């Protein structure tokens, strides 16, 4: 049997040899990753780091004396999560089908907020070469939250900033 130190050296060499075939971090430097979602018929993406979790709409309790876009509050694994209807806040339209909607949980400034959207289309990968230098024409109510966009295959993907939304004074004033 080999000396334990010699065995560790053999394992180290084996790991280094096999690691050479793995992709390097440098290959992902030119890639932008986001979460695709939609508000009605409008498809958007948000930076991956802004969304910490995606949920089905949990059971919730309505809150009296709040604006209609504040759906209620839910107990998610022992923590209270306010649920905001993003479509209702943006353009005052109610969610048509609450059974099929999803909740994007965003943590900003230490507070979790559940933003209810019509649907989630999953991860979207863009190369930095696909970044658009002009913002696409988009609904004026969304414009304050769109800071960049990507263009792929004749299609624009506006990037929605949840942090900008949550910092918006109108969003912070949910009571009537």
The answer to whether residue 35 sits within a structural domain is: yes
pLDDT of 16 higher than 90: no
pLDDT value of position 1: 56
pLDDT of 24 higher than 80: no
The answer to whether residue 143 sits within a structural domain is: yes
130 DSSP assignment: G
Measure the CA angle with vertex 133, ends 129 and 135; round to 5°: 125
Per-residue pLDDT averaged across 120-140, rounded? 87
The number of residues making up the chain comes to: 176
The answer to whether residue 1 sits within a structural domain is: no
Tell me how many domains the chain contains: 1
- Per the DSSP assignment, residues forming a β-bridge with 35 are 46, 123
Question: Token pair of 143, please?
Answer: 């414009």
Per-residue pLDDT averaged across 36-61, rounded? 93
The parent domain of residue 160 ranges over 31-172
- In whole numbers, what is the pLDDT of the chain averaged over residues? 87
The answer to whether residue 90 sits within a structural domain is: yes
* Closest alpha carbon to 76 in 97, 49, 107, 98: 107
The answer to whether residue 8 sits within a structural domain is: no
Report the alpha-carbon distance of residue 93 to residue 64 in Å, rounded. Answer: 19
Question: Token pair of 151, please?
Answer: 């263009």
The structure's pTM equals 0.78
What CATH number is attached to the domain comprising 107? Answer: 2.40.50.180
The answer to whether residue 17 sits within a structural domain is: no
The answer to whether residue 86 sits within a structural domain is: yes
pLDDT value of position 95: 63
The answer to whether residue 50 sits within a structural domain is: yes
């Amino acid at each position: 049997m080999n000396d334990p130190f010699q065995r560790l050296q053999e394992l180290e060499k084996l790991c280094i040899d096999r690691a050479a075939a793995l992709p390097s971090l440098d290959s992902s430097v030119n890639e932008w990753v986001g979460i695709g979602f939609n508000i009605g018929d409008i498809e958007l993406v948000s930076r991956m780091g802004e969304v910490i979790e995606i949920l089905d709409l949990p059971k919730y309790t309505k809150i009296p004396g709040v604006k209609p876009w504040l759906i209620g509050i839910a107990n998610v694994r022992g923590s209270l999560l306010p649920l905001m209807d993003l479509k209702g806040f943006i353009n005052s339209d109610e969610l048509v089908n609450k059974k099929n909607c999803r909740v994007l949980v965003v943590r900003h400034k230490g507070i979790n907020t559940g933003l209810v959207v019509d649907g989630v289309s999953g991860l979207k990968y863009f190369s930095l070469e696909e970044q658009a230098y002009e913002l696409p024409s988009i609904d004026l109510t969304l414009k304050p939250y769109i800071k960049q966009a990507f263009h792929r295959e004749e299609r624009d993907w506006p990037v929605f900033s949840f942090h900008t939304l949550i910092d918006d004074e109108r969003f912070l004033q949910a009571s009537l």
